[in-house]
Chains A and B, each alone.
Chain A
Amino acid sequence: MSRPFLEVKDLNVRFETDDGIVQAVTDSSFSLEAGKTLGIVGESGSGKSVTSLALLGLHRTRSNAKVTGEIWLDEQELVSASDADVRGLRGGKMSMIFQDPLSAMHPYFTVGSQIVEAYRVHHPGVNKKVARERAIDMLARVGIPQPARRFNDYAHQFSGGMRQRAMIAMALVNDPKLLIADEPTTALDVTVQAQILDLIRDLQAEFGSAVIMITHDLGVVAELADEVLVMYGGKVIEKGPTIDLFQRPQHPYTWGLLGSMPRLDREVRDRLIPVKGSPPSLINLPSGCAFHPRCPYAGRNGDRSFTEVPVLTGGVHSVACHMPPEERNRLFQEDIAPNL
C-alpha cells in the first residue's frame, strides 16, 4: 500500500526556552493527496505555523527546537533526513508563501533577483539570462503588469497585493509539489484577498500541487479547502472533509469558531459569539482536555475533561472530545445550529 503524497505522523515540536519547555505541537497526524487542499485553522499559538515550518524543516536552524515524529513527503521521510537533503527539497519540491510579504522579502535586493536566486539554487546549471526569463515569466503568470520592468523593483516599491503576487511567483518558480500558504491574505485589503485566493486556486489547478492553507479565517477555508484540520493548544482537535465539518461540526471549539464568524445572512441584531477566555499557555497546558477551561460543557463528562487527554477518534471526520457522540449531536442540533 502506498503512502499518501504527504503523511504526517505523531509530529511533536517543542522549544526549550528560559521560561520552560514550549510544547508547540503535540502528536499531530494528518495526510494530504496531490492536487488537494488542506486547511489548518486555529487561533494564534495553536501550533499551525509551527507545524508548517516543521514540514519545511525550518526549525533545524534553531538550536533550542526539537522535532520528533514522521513526515513523509512523496515516500521520503523528512524528520530523520539530513540537513542537506531537506534543504534540497525546500523551495523546490515544497515551498512556502509567508504572511507579510513586505517583511518576508529582502529589502536590499530587487524582487526579480530574489526570484532568480530561488530558481538557480535548485537549477544550478541554468545561466542568469534563462533564470531571468523564467522569473519574468512567473511574474507575468501571477498577474503582475509590465513584469520585465517590475523585475528590477524592490519590495517596498510594490503595492501590498502585488508584493504577495511576487511572493507567490517566488514560491512557485520551481513547480513545487507541495505549497504551504501561511495566512497569505492576512496583511491584504479585502478586495485583494479574493484575488490572491483565486490566484492560488488557479495556479494549483495548473500545477497540480498539494496546498496547505494556514489561516484563522474560516471563510478562506470554506472557499478553498477539501479538508480541514482544527488545531487548539498544539493539538489537532477535529479534522474532516470541509463540507462535512461546516455542516456537522463536532468539537465545541469549532462551534465557537463558527459562531464568531460574521455572516451576511445573519440578522444584524444578533451579536457575534466569541469563544470565551484566551488561548492556553503552551508552556503549562491545562490538564486533561486543553480546552476544558473555556468549554461550556466540560462539567458534563465527570472528571475526565480535567484528568484525561481526549483522543482523536471517528474515522474520516474525527474529533478529540470526551462528550459522547449522541450528546454532541443533540447539543449541536438543538442549541448551536439554530444560532449559527
Chain B
Amino acid sequence: MVAYLIRRLINAVLTLLVVTLVTFGIFFMVPKLTGSDPALLYIGKTADKVAVEGIREKMGLSDPILVQYGKFLKGIVAGRDYANGPDVQHCDAPCLGYSFKTEQEVTPLLMDDLPVTLSLALGAAILWLIGGVTAGVISALRKGSIPDRAVMFIALAGVSLPIYFTGLLSKQIFVNWLGWLPEGNYVPFLESPSEWFIQMLLPWITLAFLFAATYARLTRANMLETLGEDYIRTARAKGLTERIVIGKHALRSGLTPIVTIFGLDLGALLGGAVLTEAVFNLRGLGYQALQAIRGNDLPVILGVTMIAAFFIVIANLVVDLVYSAIDPRVRLG
C-alpha cells in the first residue's frame, strides 16, 4: 500500500514535469516561431533598444532554451532571482514568472483568483452530486414512470443547453425580472458568508445543472444495470427488505463508477470554469485565463495551465486510491 502510494506520487510528479515541459515548450517556442519577441511583450514596442536588452538579460530570455527551462523549473521548486546587474527582483517559490501585462508575479495573481474558483467548483459539485444522483436513482427505481420521463427530459435539456444560455437566462429571470437575487460581484466567504452564499447561488445552480444532468443519466444507467445483477436477486432471496436491497446492495455498486467521474470532473473544474466565470463576472482562474489569452499574456496562461494540470493529476490520484478502498476487487500493487 505504501509502496503503491509512493509509486503513484512519483508518477504524479513525473506527469506534472511532462506538463511543464510541453507547456513551456509551446509558450516559449511560439513567440520565436511567429517572430514576436517576449522582451517586447514585457516592455512595449515603443521602448528603446537598451531597455529591451535590459529586460532580455533580466528575464534570461537570451539563454538557451534548456537553460531557460531549467531556471523555470527551479523557480517553481525553489524560487528564483531575476537580475540585470544591480537590479535584482526575487520571486518566491513556486515562481511562475511575471505577467507581460501587469508585470506582477503570476503566482500571487493566481492565488488571489483561486478562492473564487474553489467556491464555485465545490459548491456546484455538492449540488450536482446530490441532485444528479438522487434524480438518477429515483429514475431507475421508477423506470418508465412519469417522474422518470420528466427527469430524463430535464437531463437531456441540461446536457444540451450551454452555460452561456442557461446562465444568461437564469440571470435575466432571477436578477433582472424577479429581482430575487442581487446583481453583483463576488464577496469573499470570510468577509460575509451570507453575501458570499447569495452571490454564488446562481453560478452554482447554473454550473450544477449542466453536471447534474450528466450524473442523473449516468446514475440511472448504472442503477438499472446493477438492479439486473444476480447478487441483487440473491439479496432478495435472502429475505432482505427492499430498502436494504436498494439502499445497501444496489447503491453500493451502482454509485461506485460515479466516484471516478466525480473526482475527474471536480479536478478539471478547479482549474477554472471559464464560461460560468465569464457569464457571472466571477474573477476566478477561468476568467483570468480568458483575459490572459485575449492579451497574449503567456506567463499567466502557463500558470493557469500548470494549476489546472496539478488539480487533474491530484484528482486522478485520489480517485484511484478511493476506488481501491471501495472496490475490493481492485488490488493495489
Q: Mark A residues whose CB is within 8 Å of B.
A: 56, 58, 61, 87-92, 95-96, 98, 100, 103-109, 117-118, 121-122, 154, 156, 170
Give the docked Cα–Cα distance between A144 and B241 (Å).
29
Q: Which residues of B contact A91 (CB under 8 A)?
A: 237-240
A108 and B234 contact, CB distance less than 8 A = no
Tell which of B236, B238, B326 touches A170, judged by Cβ atoms closer than 8 Å: B238
A56: nearest chain-B partner, CB-CB: B237
A-B pairs with beta carbons under 8 Å apart, 29 shown: A56-B237, A58-B237, A87-B239, A89-B239, A90-B236, A90-B238, A90-B239, A91-B237, A91-B238, A92-B239, A96-B237, A98-B230, A98-B234, A100-B230, A103-B230, A103-B231, A104-B231, A104-B234, A107-B231, A108-B253, A108-B327, A109-B249, A117-B238, A121-B238, A121-B239, A121-B241, A121-B244, A122-B239, A154-B328
The reply to whether the CB of B233 lies closer than 8 angstroms to some CB of chain A is: yes
Q: Which residues of A contact B230 (CB under 8 A)?
A: 98, 100, 103-104
Q: Which residues of B contact A118 (CB under 8 A)?
A: 238-239
Shortest Cβ distance from residue B143 to the other chain A in the assembled complex, whole angstroms: 9
A107 and B253 contact, CB distance less than 8 A = yes
Shortest Cβ distance from residue B202 to the other chain A in the assembled complex, whole angstroms: 39
Tell which of A96, A121, A156 touches B329, judged by Cβ atoms closer than 8 Å: A156
A95: nearest chain-B partner, CB-CB: B237
The reply to whether the CB of B235 lies closer than 8 angstroms to some CB of chain A is: yes
Report the 8 A-B pairs with minimum CB-CB distance, sorted nearest first. Answer: A91-B239, A91-B238, A90-B239, A103-B230, A118-B238, A106-B231, A104-B230, A104-B234
The reply to whether the CB of B74 lies closer than 8 angstroms to some CB of chain A is: no
B231: nearest chain-A partner, CB-CB: A106
Q: Which residues of A contact B231 (CB under 8 A)?
A: 103-107
- Beyond A61-B242, A154-B328, A154-B329, whether A106 also contacts B236 by CB under 8 A is no
Shortest Cβ distance from residue A188 to the other chain B in the assembled complex, whole angstroms: 16
The reply to whether the CB of B252 lies closer than 8 angstroms to some CB of chain A is: yes
Shortest Cβ distance from residue B307 to the other chain A in the assembled complex, whole angstroms: 35
Give the docked Cα–Cα distance between A60 and B306 (Å).
56
Give the docked Cα–Cα distance between A167 and B302 (Å).
57
The reply to whether the CB of B229 lies closer than 8 angstroms to some CB of chain A is: yes
Give the docked Cα–Cα distance between A106 and B326 (Å).
13
Q: Which residues of B contact A96 (CB under 8 A)?
A: 237
Contact code string B165-195 (vs A, CB < 8 Å = 1, else 0): 0000000000000000000000000000000
- Beyond A98-B230, A98-B234, A103-B230, whether A108 also contacts B239 by CB under 8 A is no
Q: Which residues of B contact A88 (CB under 8 A)?
A: 239
Give the docked Cα–Cα distance between A87 and B237 (Å).
8
Q: How large is the interface on B (under 10, 10 to 19, 20 to 34, 35 or more residues)?
A: 20 to 34
Contact residues of B between 284 and 320, Cβ < 8 Å to A:
none
Shortest Cβ distance from residue A179 to the other chain B in the assembled complex, whole angstroms: 12
B233 and A58 contact, CB distance less than 8 A = yes
Contact code string B225-261 (vs A, CB < 8 Å = 1, else 0): 0000111011111111110100001001100100000
Give the docked Cα–Cα distance between A156 and B231 (Å).
13
Q: Mark B residues whose CB is within 8 Å of A.
A: 229-231, 233-242, 244, 249, 252-253, 256, 326-329
Q: Which residues of A contact B242 (CB under 8 A)?
A: 61
B240 and A117 contact, CB distance less than 8 A = yes
- Beyond A98-B230, A154-B329, whether A108 also contacts B237 by CB under 8 A is no
Tell which of B233, B241, B252, B329 touches A87, judged by Cβ atoms closer than 8 Å: B241
Shortest Cβ distance from residue B151 to the other chain A in the assembled complex, whole angstroms: 18
Give the docked Cα–Cα distance between A44 and B123 (Å).
53
Inter-chain pairs besides A98-B233, A108-B253, A121-B241, 10 sampled, C-beta below 8 Å: A91-B238, A91-B240, A92-B239, A95-B237, A96-B237, A103-B229, A106-B234, A107-B329, A109-B252, A121-B238
Q: Which residues of B contact A92 (CB under 8 A)?
A: 239
B227: nearest chain-A partner, CB-CB: A61
Q: Which residues of B contact A108 (CB under 8 A)?
A: 252-253, 256, 326-328
Shortest Cβ distance from residue B188 to the other chain A in the assembled complex, whole angstroms: 42
- Beyond A154-B328, A154-B329, A156-B329, whether A105 also contacts B234 by CB under 8 A is yes
Interface centre among B229, B240, B244, B327 (most CB of A within 10 A): B240
Q: Which residues of B contact A154 (CB under 8 A)?
A: 328-329
Q: Which residues of B contact A56 (CB under 8 A)?
A: 237
Give the docked Cα–Cα distance between A104 and B59 (Å).
66
Give the docked Cα–Cα distance between A87 and B256 (Å).
28
Shortest Cβ distance from residue A114 to the other chain B in the assembled complex, whole angstroms: 8
B237: nearest chain-A partner, CB-CB: A96
Q: Which residues of B contact A87 (CB under 8 A)?
A: 239, 241
Q: Which residues of B contact A100 (CB under 8 A)?
A: 230
Shortest Cβ distance from residue B253 to the other chain A in the assembled complex, whole angstroms: 6
Give the docked Cα–Cα distance between A107 and B256 (Å).
12
Shortest Cβ distance from residue A89 to the other chain B in the assembled complex, whole angstroms: 7
Q: Which residues of B contact A122 (CB under 8 A)?
A: 239
A122: nearest chain-B partner, CB-CB: B239
Give the docked Cα–Cα distance between A87 and B327 (Å).
29
A106 and B235 contact, CB distance less than 8 A = yes
Give the docked Cα–Cα distance between A122 and B239 (Å).
8
Give the docked Cα–Cα distance between A103 and B226 (Å).
11
Q: Which residues of A contact B327 (CB under 8 A)?
A: 107-108
Shortest Cβ distance from residue B157 to the other chain A in the assembled complex, whole angstroms: 27
Give the docked Cα–Cα distance between A121 and B252 (Å).
19
Shortest Cβ distance from residue A192 to the other chain B in the assembled complex, whole angstroms: 20
